[in-house]
């Protein structure tokens, strides 16, 4: 009965620590979320008591449980829940590991054969809480700055989370094996003067190096994502969301230089929106902007991943069909024209949305400069626009 009571008591202590860490890594003034953290205590404790799993499996189970709870607290933001859960479990397990190593090497007390599944004993709580305070201070002063980057720019994939989790799992496994080695060799280790103190310092230094590595990795990746986000904004046309003139011409220039002396080909399509001035005069510039956005969306949605569209300015766009022959680009444009027709039938536009286009293929004009190639597409576009206006008359 006493053993069972101790198990329940220790499980609740560890659950309380985990819930406290949930508060520390993501503080909030919301009382509702505070109550959710308190509710997490019996849930985590029940898992720690009832879970028949051991070792790494148990660690992963606890981690997934924390993700579930943190996801509720974070209003279903999965990525943030994963990253915060990494921090929580890392702090808690590192604290338990360092406590176990200290008791083994200095007090000669063997805690468990498997560090990933043991409960903290009452006699170890003082040491563990000292380590816990130290880790919290480190987190608040050094790692807390990463949280602002996570919430400011939403990371579009789980690369950071995956790398963090991998590093943590490898470190935990290594410490687990090191602890077993020390436990099996404890008699020999204690015979050498001050060796146990040196080994304890080495273990603490190893953990410190892992934490520094994780901090540098996360800082690098989040800064990288932040730079990509800023770069994406700088390269984007504000009105339409497609590439702007500068970024589009820069990419096209690189493509031209690369393909110029090869047998690879791209096709340019110069686009000009029909009747934009009429729409602006009759319905206002907001409606004209809406027409431009609709056309840009319709065209960009029909392009392949390697193709791109850039807004040159006003009502002019330039599309590049990469690794494509002229006839294939014209077929692709036929599909875009059909999409524009469908948009006219299904939308509430009070006017007809249409464009004039002109093509120029690199294969047929390899002696031309890039500027001349664009002008060739521009000339064909103006010829088609003249025919369009003639039909209207």
Would you state the pLDDT for residue 4? Answer: 46
Reply yes or no on whether the pLDDT at 153 is more than 50.
Answer: no
DSSP notation for 303-368? S-SS-EEEEEETTEEEEEEET--HHHHHHHHHHHHHHHHHHHHHS--SS---EEEEEEETTT-TTS
Q: How far is CA 106 from the centre of its chain?
A: 43
User: Contact at 8 Å (CB) between 318 and 312?
Assistant: yes
Bridge partners of 273, per DSSP, are 355
Task: Please provide the size of the chain in residues.
Answer: 393
Reply yes or no on whether the pLDDT at 271 is more than 80.
Answer: yes
Reply yes or no on whether the pLDDT at 291 is more than 80.
Answer: yes
Would you state the pLDDT for residue 32? Answer: 53
Q: How confident is the model at residue 49 (pLDDT cuts 50, 70, 90)?
A: low
For residue 60, which of 75, 47, 42 has the smallest C-alpha distance? 47
- What value, to the nearest 5°, has the Cα angle with vertex 27 and ends 25 and 32? 125
Would you state the pLDDT for residue 233? Answer: 59
Alpha carbons 140 and 74: distance in angstroms, whole number: 19
Choice between 48 and 126, residue whose per-residue pLDDT is larger: 126
Average pLDDT over residues 19-40: 64
Sketch the domain layout of the chain as residue ranges. 2-234, 245-392
Average pLDDT over residues 229-249: 80
The 10s digit of each residue's pLDDT in 318-360 is 999 998 999 999 999 999 999 998 888 877 788 889 999 999 9
- What value, to the nearest 5°, has the Cα angle with vertex 307 and ends 258 and 245? 80
Would you state the pLDDT for residue 151? Answer: 47
Reply yes or no on whether the pLDDT at 278 is more than 80.
Answer: yes
Percent of the chain with pLDDT over 70: 74
Q: How confident is the model at residue 374 (pLDDT cuts 50, 70, 90)?
A: very high
pTM here is 0.51
Choice between 281 and 183, residue whose per-residue pLDDT is larger: 281
Would you state the pLDDT for residue 106? Answer: 82
For residue 354, which of 244, 243, 271, 237 has the smallest C-alpha distance? 271
Reply yes or no on whether the pLDDT at 152 is more than 50.
Answer: no
For residue 274, which of 299, 291, 287 has the smallest C-alpha distance? 291
Average pLDDT over residues 246-264: 88
Choice between 120 and 110, residue whose per-residue pLDDT is larger: 110
Would you state the pLDDT for residue 379? Answer: 95
Q: How confident is the model at residue 26 (pLDDT cuts 50, 70, 90)?
A: low
Q: How confident is the model at residue 207 (pLDDT cuts 50, 70, 90)?
A: confident
The 10s digit of each residue's pLDDT in 377-392 is 999 999 999 988 887 6
Reply yes or no on whether the pLDDT at 141 is more than 80.
Answer: no
Average pLDDT over residues 29-44: 64
Least confident of 12-16, 249-253, 365-369: 12-16
Least confident of 111-115, 136-140, 195-199: 111-115
Average pLDDT over residues 175-189: 81
Q: How confident is the model at residue 176 (pLDDT cuts 50, 70, 90)?
A: confident
Strand order from edge to edge, sheet including 266-273: 308-313, 316-322, 266-273, 355-361
Look over the chain and give the mean of its residue pLDDT values, rounded to a whole number.
78
Would you state the pLDDT for residue 158? Answer: 58
Bridge partners of 322, per DSSP, are 266
Would you state the pLDDT for residue 21? Answer: 76
The CATH superfamily label for domain 245-392 reads: Reverse transcriptase/Diguanylate cyclase domain (3.30.70.270)
Would you state the pLDDT for residue 256? Answer: 92
User: Contact at 8 Å (CB) between 264 and 270?
Assistant: no
Q: How confident is the model at residue 37 (pLDDT cuts 50, 70, 90)?
A: low
Average pLDDT over residues 104-112: 74
Reply yes or no on whether the pLDDT at 187 is more than 80.
Answer: no
Would you state the pLDDT for residue 336? Answer: 93
For residue 206, which of 175, 166, 176, 248 has the smallest C-alpha distance? 175
Would you state the pLDDT for residue 113? Answer: 53
Least confident of 107-116, 120-129, 148-157, 296-305: 148-157
């Amino acid at each position: 009965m006493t053993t069972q009571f101790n198990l329940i008591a220790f499980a609740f202590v560890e659950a309380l620590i985990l819930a406290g860490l949930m508060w520390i890594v993501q503080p909030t003034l919301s009382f509702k979320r505070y109550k959710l953290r308190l509710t997490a205590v019996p849930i985590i404790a029940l898992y720690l008591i009832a879970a028949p799993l051991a070792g790494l499996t148990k660690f992963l189970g606890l981690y997934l449980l924390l993700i579930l709870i943190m996801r509720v607290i974070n209003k279903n933001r999965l990525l943030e829940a994963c990253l915060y859960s990494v921090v929580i479990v890392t702090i808690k397990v590192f604290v338990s590991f360092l406590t176990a190593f200290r008791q083994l090497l200095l007090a000669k007390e063997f805690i468990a054969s498997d560090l990933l599944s043991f409960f903290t004993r009452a006699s170890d709580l003082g040491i563990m809480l000292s380590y816990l305070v130290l880790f919290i201070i480190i987190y608040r002063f050094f790692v807390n700055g990463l949280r602002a980057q996570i919430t400011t720019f939403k990371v579009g994939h789980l690369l950071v989370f995956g790398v963090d989790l991998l590093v943590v799992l490898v470190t935990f496994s290594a410490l687990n094996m090191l602890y077993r080695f020390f436990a099996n060799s404890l008699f020999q280790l204690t015979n050498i003067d001050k060796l146990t103190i040196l080994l304890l310092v080495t273990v603490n230094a190893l953990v410190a190096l892992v934490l520094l590595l994780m901090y540098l990795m996360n800082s690098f990746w989040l800064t990288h994502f932040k730079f990509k986000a800023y770069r994406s904004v700088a390269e984007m046309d504000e009105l339409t969301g497609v590439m702007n003139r500068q970024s589009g011409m820069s990419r096209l220039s690189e493509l031209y230089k690369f393909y110029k002396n090869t047998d690879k080909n791209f096709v340019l399509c110069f686009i000009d929106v029909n009747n934009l001035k009429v729409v602006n005069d009759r319905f206002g510039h907001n409606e004209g902007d809406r027409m431009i956005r609709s056309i840009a969306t319709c065209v960009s949605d029909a392009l392949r991943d390697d193709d791109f569209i850039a807004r040159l300015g006003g009502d002019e766009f330039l599309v590049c069909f990469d690794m494509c022959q002229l006839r294939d680009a014209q077929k692709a444009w036929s599909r875009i024209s059909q999409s524009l027709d469908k948009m006219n039938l299904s939308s509430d536009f009070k006017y007809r949305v249409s464009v004039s286009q002109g093509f120029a293929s690199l294969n047929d004009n390899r002696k031309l400069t890039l500027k001349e190639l664009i002008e060739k597409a521009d000339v064909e576009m103006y010829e088609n626009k003249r025919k369009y206006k003639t039909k209207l008359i």
